[in-house]
Each structure stands twice: as structure tokens, then as C-alpha cells.
Amino acid sequence: MEHYNMNLNLKVWRQKNKNDKGSLVDYKVSGISSEMSFLEMIDVLNEKLVADGKDEPIAFDHDCREGICGMCSMYINGRPHGPWAGTTTCQLHMRAFKDGDTIVIEPWRAKAFPVIKDLVVDRTAFDRIIQAGGYISVNTGNAVDANAIPIPKDDADKAFAAAACIGCGACVAACKNASAMLFVSAKVSQLALLPQGKPEAQKRVLDMVAQMDKEGFGSCTNTGACEAECPKEISLENIARLNREFTSASIMSEE
């Protein structure tokens, strides 16, 4: 593949802290290689900002930089994680852009994800949703032999596909309602598809949805934006399964 260098105009959301109002600020970067990752491009800008000493470098979440930890979270030109399908911000490479492009970078925006600084948001709401029931209650040492319960490959594969969620929050960022249904449905589906998850399935789905609502996420209107933007391509089928699980649990529950 041909390499090329480019100059770019960036408009980056700057916000000192959660109480600051914040605004988009213009920056220029030059000599960006098409081989760089998007975050390496931000690194270049940050090094420049440190050297200039005028603005603080841009705060942004990132860690593994290989698309699996779910930490990176930039809303790039109107799309979470930018233009490539099935790709996190850290795996987005500058080949996606051309010389002279303007790139607008914003944080995830949702009531349930307040901004901490610049592009960094607080996603602990997701942890609290998992705390509400995103687990199988098995203490260490209680397990039977791993092959004692055969699980149809199809179910195991579907559970895995749902479990591939990295909890980055792109679904919330993409959704016009800031709904977390894709995230919640991924965990509910994973555990509902496996025999080990069955005993608690009813309570799990009721509690997780209640927590999701409490955290201030919106409701799902089935636009499909979450699925289209999910870096792990979690399927909308999971949301249908969540709806199914929730409705039947609501009907069957004795409370």
C-alpha cells in the first residue's frame, strides 16, 4: 500500500473539567503519515502542545491500543470510533483520511456518561449495570468438570459473539436516544444462551434493565445505529433477545 503524508485541520472538544462548559478548538497538524493510527496522530498533536506550552495536551482515554480494552472513545466526524466499520478508535488508521481533511473530534455524549475532561468520559454506569446482575453466581471452587455440561456449538458461538462486547460505549454514543440496550443485551444474551446462566436469568434481566434505566440511558427505538457502529459488531438480535427475556421474566416473576 502506498504511504503518504498529510496536513489536517482538527477541531477538538476541550473541556477543563466536568463543570466547565467546553468548546471545540482548532488545531493544525502536519506531516501525518498514512501509516499512523488515529491515536498516534493525537500523540503528535499532544507532543506539539507540550512543546508549545500554551494549551495542555488533550486528555483522552486509551490503553491497549489493539482494539480490545474498550478504553478509547472518540466521536470522529459524527461517528463513534470514526469512519471504519468494526473498528475502535485506536485501530483506525490515518489511511482513512486525506491531505487537507478537517476532522471534528468530540467525546461520547450522554447524560449517563458525564465528561471528566476533554475527550474523557465517566463510564462507570456500565460497571454498575454489570453489578446489578451481569454474572453467574458461582463461588470459586464450586465448579463441576468443564465438560460435564455439553453446550451446543451454535449456542456457545452465539454466546461468544455477544460476549465479545468491549464495553466501550460506542452504542450509547451512536444512539440518538443514548440508549445502552446493545451493551446490556450483549451480557444478558451471553448468559441467557448458556445453561450455566439459566438459574438466574429471570432476576438478572429484570435487575440489569432496572439499573440501566436508573443510570439515565435512553430507550431503544430500533434505529440500528448501535449495531452499525459497534467495533465488535454485536448484533441487534441480542436486543431482541433482551426484550424477549425481559418481557417473559416480567410476566413470569412472582413479584
Partner 1 sequence: MTLNSKIPAGPIEKKWEDYKGHVKLVNPANKRKLEIIIVGTGLAGASAAASLGELGYKVKTFCFQDSPRRAHSIAAQGGINAAKNYQNDGDSVYRLFYDTIKGGDYRAREGNVHRLAEVSTNIIDQCVAQGVPFAREYGGLLSNRSFGGTQVQRTFYAAGQTGQQLLLGAYSALERQIALGNVTQYSRHEMLDVVTIDGKARGIIAKNLVTGELERHFGHAVLLCTGGYGNVFYLSTNAMGSNVTAAWKAHKKGAFFGNPCFTQIHPTCIPVSGDHQSKLTLMSESLRNDGRIWVPKKQGDTRKPNEIPEEERDYYLERRYPAFGNLVPRDVASRAAKERCDAGFGVGASKMAVYLDYADAIQRYGKIEVGKQGLDNVSKEKIIELGKAVVKEKYGNLLDMYSKITGENPYEVPMRIYPAVHYTMGGLWVDYELMTSVPGLYALGEANFSDHGANRLGASALMQGLADGYFVIPYTIGNYLADEIAVKPIPTDSPEFLAAEKATADRINTLMNIKGTKSVESFHKRLGKIMWDKCGMARNAEGLKEAITEIQALKKEFWSDVKIPGDINSFNPELDKAGRVADFIELGELMCKDALDRNESCGGHFREESQTEEGEALRDDEHYKYVAAWEFKGESDWQLNKEELIYENIKIAARSYK
Partner 2 sequence: MAKEAFFTSSIGRKLLVGLTGLFLISFLVVHVGINSTILINDNGETFNTAAYFMSHNWVIRVMEIGLLAGLLIHIAMTLKLYFDNKAKRPVAYAVIDGKANSKWYSRSMALLGTLLLIFLVLHMSDFWLHTKKAVYITHENENPFEEVKEAMTKWYILIPYLLGFFSLGFHLLHGFPSAFQTLGLNHKKYTPMINAAGTAFSVVVPGLFGAIALALYFGLVK
Distance of alpha carbon 181 from its chain centroid, rounded?
Answer: 12
> Nearer to partner 2 by C-beta: 7 or 248?
248
Q: Are 195 and 148 in contact (CB under 8 A)?
A: no
> Residue 250 Cβ, how far from partner 1 at the closest point, in Å?
21
Question: What distances in angstroms separate CA 133 from CA 69, 88, 144, 184, one per listed residue?
Answer: 21, 27, 22, 10
Give the neighbor-by-neighbor strand order of the sheet with 23-33.
23-33, 5-14, 102-106, 75-76, 79-80
Binder of residue 200, out of partner 2, partner 1, none (CB less than 5 to 8 A by kind): none
Which of 174, 186, 194, 201 forms a contact with partner 2 (CB under 8 A)? Answer: 174
Binder of residue 70, out of partner 2, partner 1, none (CB less than 5 to 8 A by kind): partner 1
- Say how far apart CA 171 and CA 189 lie, in whole Å: 16
Q: Which of residues 98-137 bind partner 1 (CB under 8 A)?
A: 116-117, 120, 122-124, 126-127, 130-132, 134-137
Q: Are 32 and 98 in contact (CB under 8 A)?
A: no
Which of 159, 206, 212, 239 forms a contact with partner 1 (CB under 8 A)? Answer: 159
Reading the block at residue 148, the C-alpha cell is 460435564
User: What residues make contact with partner 2 under the rule CB under 8 A?
Assistant: 11, 13, 24, 75, 77-79, 83, 104, 106, 109-112, 174, 176-179, 206, 209-210, 212-213, 216-225, 228-229, 236-237, 239-247, 249-250, 253, 255
